[in-house]
Amino acid sequence: MNKEIIDFIKYLKIMKNYSDYTCINYQKDLDNYLDFINIKKYDYKNMDYNKCVEYLIYLKDINLKKTSISRKLSSVRSFYKYLVLNNIINSNPFLLVSSPKKEKKIPKFINYDNISKIFEEPNLKTSLGLRERVILEILYGSGVRVSELVNIKIKDIDFNEKNIDIIGKGNKERIVSFGDYAKDAIKEYMNSSRKDLLENIDSEYLIVGKKKEKLTTRRIEQIIDEIIKKASIKMNITPHVFRHTFATHLLDNGCDLLAVKELLGHTSLSSTEIYTHVSNEHLREVYRKCHPRNINNVK
């Protein structure tokens, strides 16, 4: 085994206090790198950019996932950083080699039929049912994050403009809109069940529990989970899935991508563009099922 790699693994264990599991993974990644070095008959202390790119290509050729390639490159990069720190080599040749971009997962969303089922579940004759309806209306109707939902204060709501002032990630402020259904739900909840839940205790927050100022994000997740089970929907639906659904349904119905970006509070358009893939796939599925000239629909 290579002496520098043995010393590097010892360094990770002793000086960096890495776990045995992490060190084993570093060892495997560096063994893989040495395989490449031996195949090419390169001197690992005398690598340049082009040779490093060859290693990247080698990893791709053996059909590794992008996540595995990124991890192996990170291990090798750390190894060379160690060699530089110990004056074994002058510079890290892997610093200029970029890891492959992570594959973007297509976000899950709720179809229109299941959205209807979900909104039928809350028992509007009870205080908790009215609160459930408000939670659903705001999550689906405005696309807020669950962390933003629990922090909505009464003073943040403008019923005339049907807007809510939201403090999002990075303490960034934005305004989200809500519709007439949400407006009616919020007003009914505030005039009746919210007061019952608080039992004469003052609170500035909109979504509250019994004698509590506000619900936790975990409690909102539990409420959503209970609703989904009652609706007999066989899908793992978290509060964040409502945010995905909000964006997807807006795009399905012709909303401009830039407008969706602002409504979601994204800093970059690339974060919003992933919903166009979902929307386009939905449109393709509609076409496949409905168009008479699709072979599956010919009778």
Phi and psi angles of residue 53, each rounded to the nearest 5 degrees, phi first: -65, -35
The total number of structural domains in the chain stands at 2
Give the model's pLDDT for residue 295: 56
**Confidence bin at 299 (pLDDT 50/70/90):** very low
The answer on pLDDT for 287 being more than 70 is no
> Would you say residue 97 lies in a domain?
no
Is pLDDT larger for residue 297 or for residue 97? 97
Distance, in Å, from the CA atom of 27 to the CA atom of 24, rounded to the nearest integer, reads 5
Check whether 158 has a pLDDT greater than 50.
yes
Is the pLDDT at 240 greater than 80? The verdict is yes
Average pLDDT, the chain: 88
Cα–Cα distance for residue pair 245/179, rounded to 1 Å = 16
**Which of 85, 103, 128 is the last residue in one of the domains?**
85
296 within a domain of the structure (yes/no): no
Q: Classify residue 223: in a domain, yes or no.
A: yes
Q: Mind listing the pLDDT tens digit for each residue in 45-91?
A: 999 999 999 999 999 888 888 888 999 999 999 999 999 999 999 99
- Shared domain check, 128 and 41: no
Instruction: Extract the tokens encoding 239.
Output: 């509060």
Residues 66 and 126 in one domain: no
Q: How many CB atoms lie within 10 A of CB 163?
A: 15
Residues whose CB falls within 8 Å of the CB of residue 15, separated by 6 or more in sequence, listed in order: none
Query: Alpha helices of the chain — where are they, by DSSP H?
Result: 3-14, 20-40, 49-61, 66-85, 112-120, 127-142, 146-149, 180-191, 193-198, 217-230, 239-252, 257-264, 269-290
Q: What percent of the chain has pLDDT over 90?
A: 61
Scored b (16 or more CB within 10 A) or e, 190-224 reads beebbeebbeeeebebbbbbeeeebbebeebeebb
Q: What is each CA distance from 121 to 124, 130, 225, 240, 252, in whole angstroms?
A: 9, 11, 12, 19, 25
Angle in degrees, 0-180, between the axes of helices 217-230 and 127-142, rounded to the nearest 10 = 100
Which pLDDT score, from 0 to 100, does residue 30 have? 94
Q: Looking at the structure, do residues 80 and 117 belong to the same domain, yes or no?
A: no
Whose CA is closest to 4, among 94, 96, 85? Answer: 85
194 in any annotated domain:
yes
Q: Give yes or no: residues 16 and 132 share one domain.
A: no
Q: Do 77 and 125 belong together in one domain?
A: no
Same domain for 8 and 71? yes
pLDDT for residue 132: 97
Q: What is the mean pLDDT of residues 244-269?
A: 87
- Are residues 150 and 228 located together in one domain of the fold? yes
Q: Do 50 and 171 sit in the same domain of this protein?
A: no
CA 238 vs CA 109, 117, 218: distances in Å? 10, 16, 11
Same domain, 206 and 81: no
Residue 298 in any domain: the answer is no
Alpha-carbon span 248 to 277, nearest angstrom: 9
Q: Are 126 and 81 members of one domain?
A: no
Domain-located, residue 107: no
The pLDDT of 222-243, averaged and rounded, is 94
| DSSP label at residue 202 | -
Q: Would you place residue 260 in the very low, low, confident or very high pLDDT band (cuts 50, 70, 90)?
A: confident
pLDDT of residue 279: 65
What's this model's pTM, rounded to 2 decimal places? 0.63
Buried/exposed 250-267: b ≥16 CB within 10 Å, e otherwise: bbbeeeeeeebbebbbbe
Tokens representing residue 225 in the block:
């989970």
Grade residue 126 by pLDDT with cuts at 50, 70 and 90.
very high
Among residues 66, 85, 104, the one where a domain terminates is: 85
* pLDDT value of residue 298: 46
pLDDT of 259 strictly over 90? no
Distances (CA, A) of 198 to 122, 126, 177, 191: 20, 14, 26, 12
Active site residue ranges: 145, 169, 240, 243, 266, 275
pLDDT, greater one: 198 or 168 = 198
* 29 located within any domain: yes
pLDDT at 103: 64
- With CA atoms as reference, report the closest residue to 264 among 282, 280, 240: 240
Looking only at the bridges linking them, the beta strands covering 173-177 and 163-167 are antiparallel
- The pLDDT of residue 129: 96
Same domain, 74 and 177: no
Same domain, 201 and 242: yes
| Beta bridge pairs of residue 167 | 173
Mean pLDDT, residues 228-240 taken together: 94
Range of the domain at 36: 3-85
Last residue of a domain, one of 85, 120, 151: 85
Q: Is 187 within a domain? A: yes
Return the CATH number at 129: 1.10.443.10
